[in-house]
A and B are shown apart, each in its own frame.
Chain A
Amino acid sequence: MTQALIDSQAPTHSQAPSPAQADLSAAETLAGGTLFRFATAGSVDDGKSTLVGRLLHDSKAVLADQLDAVTRTSTERGFGGAAGGIDFALLTDGLRAEREQGITIDVAYRYFATNRRSFILADCPGHVQYTRNMVTGATTADAVIMLIDARKGVLEQTRRHLSVVRLLRVPHIIVAVNKIDLLGYDEAAYTEIADAVRTVTGELGLGAVHVIPVSALAGDNVVNASPRTPWYTGPSLLELLETLPVVDEVESALEAFRLPVQLVLRPQGAVAVPAADAPAFRDYRAYAGQVTSGTVRVGDAVTVLPGGAGTVVTGIDFAGTELTEAFAPQSIALRLRDDLDIARGAVIGAAGTLPDPTKELTAALFWLDPRPLTPGDRALVKFGANTVQAIVTAVTGRLNLDTLEQETAASLDINDIGHVTVRLAAALPVETFASSRRSGAFLVIHPQDGATLAAGIVTAAGIAVAAGVPA
């Protein structure tokens, strides 16, 4: 049934824009639907763009005029030979150079919805600067789809991608074994690959990984379960994406409350409320930010860093609405009982849960800049709403992505994942990435030109240990 769509000789969409495309029940459900973010990753030629195009097309996320444009270009280029057809990669390759060269340069974001969920897809190219692109896509993802070419099985690059995903603690990993049609939908061949995937993920210490046999080109198990793989009884790719829990929310609900203060709301008369109400806001002061983890309620005892003062939450404001509680990832404003010296960069946390501020930390860096990092380099680091100067005091090692072993390194080059020790100019309440994916992440920024040099994750806070840095 899906076969017909891709083999269609001439596009029928302009004449019959298949209004079944978005049925109203889907639209209605969307009102309160949740948001799920996922990224795709894979090697060259494993059919990732085709998979993304197929997912968008079969979930009716491609509208008639877009499909017409893609079909027209596909035909001009003779895609699909005598059979005709659509080059799905054209749906996602947005830049002129990409279409001309047939490559994907940068992460592209796509939006689609089913009647269960809305999705934000970060489509990450696999071949050029794959670490840079994967890190960009994976840091905000609830799930990563890793593509494998069924004819090639698990490659070194698969191991590399999986180790990046593990280090970034992406909540869900889906391995799509693509081009299963080219193996004649053979169960034994698929099982061999699935076993190899599980061996690697076991070595990497990854938890549950979902493995699915798919054909992006033919549409098997992408949106609907395929009759050609009766031996596979699991969900289709889309079903899985629709049902996986949004771990971020679950996880952050279990963690202690944190609010990095972005700015202080203190209108001092310059209020946007009606004149009659203005006097009530003369002394209004609240601390605005996005809750990074946990839940806060009115009446909760909190600690404020720097300073370590304790106080009590007297109000939670959301643009004119008073809330009784707030949680990640809400952007709120907190009112506190005491007048404290709190400015941008302060962190408000559940009482007694904030770590002692430190100037020393050890971290893993995903180095993303062509200029190498050498010990002694100065940089800016951004944690939450804090940007401080820092010195990289040592490069203690580099992850060999082929062997997944730690090796010695004197410097870090682009796409390296390295371990470093860092000294900060000001003490911050640094938390490990293992304890919080939000509070334990930071940017490394070039002090002069402002380029983002690296994605950093804290492996240990406090006095740096010279040896025995955790992998």
Chain B
Amino acid sequence: MRTPPVNATDTASPIRATGSHRLSQLDVLESEAIHIIREVVAEFERPVLLFSGGKDSVVVLHLAAKAFWPGRVPFPLLHVDTGHNFPEVIAFRDATVERLGLRLEVARVQDYIDDGRLHERADGTRNPLQTLPLLDAIAAGRHDAVFGGARRDEDKARAKERILSLRDEFGQWDPRNQRPELWNLYNGRHTVGQHVRAFPISNWTELNVWRYIEREQIALPPLYYAHDREVYRRDGMWRSVGPVSMPRATETVENRTVRYRTVGDMSCTGAVESDAASVDAVVREVALSTITERGATRADDRISEAAMEDRKKDGYF
């Protein structure tokens, strides 16, 4: 009668014979995240989960499936599509939604560019352009809570954000006026026009995420594992040859074995050279890495020390 959620196998490992420490850190982080997800669903009217098909949002979806088992995940998914996403990731996104029988809302940056509400940036990156379609989609869906897969170890500004983060009607984060977050008691109160961003895996590190993907046998887009790809070197990263990321005349295209540590906008996401073709190989690689995932793969976050903070203040994830 018992059937696992998403792709889970033997999930709980509650009994460990090492003294009093009966729960591993993954068990503790998992229960914390499930508690947060259930709390948000219980206290809010119309939650939505930001789902890009990237590993962090896949993990949050997996946790949500576990939180409500044997019922379905009781909220829809929302993806802000920059139009520059990797086709493999979009395919994975759609297959996942289909398999779980969920509803996916897609807000397209391209639509905004086509009708002139947004303009393409000179540097070609569309990450900062996601904010307006995101806020419009939240308003249109009347979503009062928005789950995200952000982690505090990703960035110095994120390290300061609460698990439940209040946003005003402009979606803005006010880092100097955050609610204190006490014990495991989350305060989801908000007024008309405000909404709350909820980050259930705030306390997870990149390595925790990969360990969990390994333990739970969670499927990911193939880009996360080593594969051969036509790439060229720019800003110290391997960039994929594609319609929105063409090499300049001075840049040489080569075939390399690479993988992606993050799978964002193709125009600003770089690959790393890697032989890690399986999840355990990736876990080893991440454990030994000497560079953070954003430092290795995100051109836009290298613009300034406060790139993420500035985007968040404007309503970004």
User: What string of 1s and 0s marks CB contacts (under 8 Å) between B1-36 and chain A?
Assistant: 111110010111010101011111101111110110
Interface residues of B in 261-285 (CB under 8 A from A): 283-284
Interface residues of A in 422-471 (CB under 8 A from B): 438, 441-443, 445-446, 448-452, 455
Contacts of A133 in B (CB 8 A): 180
Contacts of A66 in B (CB 8 A): 292, 295
A51: min CB distance to chain B, Å: 17
In the assembled complex, the Cα of A108 lies from the Cα of B3 at a distance in Å of 40
Instruction: Verify B185–A443 contact, CB threshold 8 A.
Output: yes
In this complex, how many residues of chain B approach chain A with their Cβ under 8 Å: the count is 84
In the assembled complex, the Cα of A34 lies from the Cα of B11 at a distance in Å of 17
Interface of chain A, helix or strand or loop or mixed? Answer: mixed
Which segment of A40-48, A222-230, A276-284 sits at the interface? A276-284
Task: Name the 4 nearest CB pairs between A and B, nearest first.
Answer: A450-B189, A27-B287, A94-B156, A65-B295
Q: Given A106-B160, A108-B159, is A445 in contact with B21 using a C-beta cutoff of 8 Å?
A: no
Instruction: Verify B176–A265 contact, CB threshold 8 A.
Output: no
A76: min CB distance to chain B, Å: 11
8 Å CB contact of B292 from A19, A65, A99, A449: A65
In the assembled complex, the Cα of A319 lies from the Cα of B12 at a distance in Å of 9
8 Å CB contact of B3 from A246, A273, A451: A273
In the assembled complex, the Cα of A290 lies from the Cα of B16 at a distance in Å of 19
8 Å CB contact of B27 from A18, A317, A322, A330: A330
Contacts of A441 in B (CB 8 A): 182-183, 185
Q: Which B residues are within 8 Å of any A CB, using their own CB?
A: 1-5, 8, 10-12, 14, 16, 18, 20-25, 27-32, 34-35, 38-39, 41-42, 65-73, 100-101, 152-153, 155-160, 166, 175-176, 178-185, 187, 189-191, 202-203, 205, 207-208, 211, 283-284, 287-292, 295-296, 305-306, 309-310
Instruction: Verify A273–B187 contact, CB threshold 8 A.
Output: no
8 Å CB contact of B31 from A63, A73, A266, A329: A329
In the assembled complex, the Cα of A91 lies from the Cα of B98 at a distance in Å of 43
Instruction: Verify B24–A32 contact, CB threshold 8 A.
Output: yes
Q: How large is the interface on A (under 10, 10 to 19, 20 to 34, 35 or more residues)?
A: 35 or more
A25: min CB distance to chain B, Å: 10
The contact sample of 30 A-B pairs, CB cut-off 8 A, is: A17-B291, A22-B288, A27-B283, A30-B207, A32-B24, A63-B291, A73-B305, A94-B156, A94-B309, A95-B176, A95-B306, A105-B175, A106-B160, A111-B205, A118-B205, A246-B20, A263-B42, A266-B71, A289-B35, A319-B12, A320-B5, A320-B69, A322-B2, A329-B31, A330-B31, A344-B42, A368-B180, A382-B185, A452-B179, A452-B187
Interface residues of A in 299-357 (CB under 8 A from B): 317-323, 325-327, 329-331, 333, 344
Instruction: Verify B65–A319 contact, CB threshold 8 A.
Output: yes
A445: min CB distance to chain B, Å: 6
Instruction: Verify B290–A19 contact, CB threshold 8 A.
Output: yes
Contacts of A270 in B (CB 8 A): 71-72
Instruction: Verify A267–B70 contact, CB threshold 8 A.
Output: yes
In the assembled complex, the Cα of A105 lies from the Cα of B11 at a distance in Å of 39
User: What string of 1s and 0s marks CB contacts (under 8 Å) between A290-301 and chain B?
Assistant: 100000000000
Instruction: Verify B35–A318 contact, CB threshold 8 A.
Output: no
B102: min CB distance to chain A, Å: 10
The yes or no answer to A208 lying at the interface (CB within 8 A) is no
The yes or no answer to A164 lying at the interface (CB within 8 A) is no
Contacts of A32 in B (CB 8 A): 16, 18, 24
Contacts of B32 in A (CB 8 A): 329, 331
Closest residue of chain B to A382 (Cβ to Cβ) is B185
Instruction: Verify B23–A445 contact, CB threshold 8 A.
Output: no
Contacts of B288 in A (CB 8 A): 19, 21-22, 24, 27
Q: Given A290-B184, A382-B187, is A319 in contact with B157 using a C-beta cutoff of 8 Å?
A: no
Instruction: Verify B42–A385 contact, CB threshold 8 A.
Output: yes
Contacts of A19 in B (CB 8 A): 288, 290
Instruction: Verify A27–B284 contact, CB threshold 8 A.
Output: yes
Instruction: Verify A272–B20 contact, CB threshold 8 A.
Output: no
In the assembled complex, the Cα of A246 lies from the Cα of B18 at a distance in Å of 13
Instruction: Verify A118–B25 contact, CB threshold 8 A.
Output: yes
Q: Given A281-B70, A331-B67, is A326 in contact with B14 using a C-beta cutoff of 8 Å?
A: yes
Instruction: Verify B183–A320 contact, CB threshold 8 A.
Output: no
8 Å CB contact of A94 from B27, B160, B290: B160
Closest residue of chain B to A33 (Cβ to Cβ) is B25
Q: Given A94-B156, A320-B11, is A265 in contact with B68 using a C-beta cutoff of 8 Å?
A: yes
Instruction: Verify A452–B180 contact, CB threshold 8 A.
Output: yes
Contacts of B21 in A (CB 8 A): 34, 246, 249
